[in-house]
Amino acid sequence: MSLYQFSCLSINGELIPMDTYRGKVLLIVNTASKCGFTPQYKGLECLYRKYRDAGLVVMGFPCDQFGHQEFDSEEEVEHFCVNNYNVSFPLFAKVRVKGTNADPLFQYLSNTARGCFGSKAIKWNFTKFLINRDATRIKRFATTTYPSHLSAPIEKLLHTAQ
């Protein structure tokens, strides 16, 4: 199975095949608008603006599974992200990231890149998955890993031959 076999709904309801991002370095993040870690949107946007021309795509997937810290509608999420953090990276429709009804993409990510002590489950908002250009390596970063600490691993992947 490959990451490129999945498709996801954009925040505006458009079905986007992950294959669209083939050859890019991806940073996939489950996000929430009303979380103590929500200010990470600023750092994610900084990474995106700094590295997008080199091939990085940050992808935000809103999730309401942790303390109900997300708005009810995608429109509210998008409005919040754009107006408060000037988010320009791709945002997707709200997803479930854990449990039996988890989005297939997040099931795949959780099984492929395990967390602390080999855990599959995503524990909280702003868990990050960094994926190389051919989607053969996926590394998970915890909620407490701030985007500013991801510059070195992103640069390494951006400078690795395709």
Selection from 84, 91, 80, 96 nearest residue 48 by Cα: 91
35 is catalytic: yes
- Choosing from 8, 35, 63, 81, the catalytic residue is 35
For the annotated catalytic residues, the residue numbers are: 35
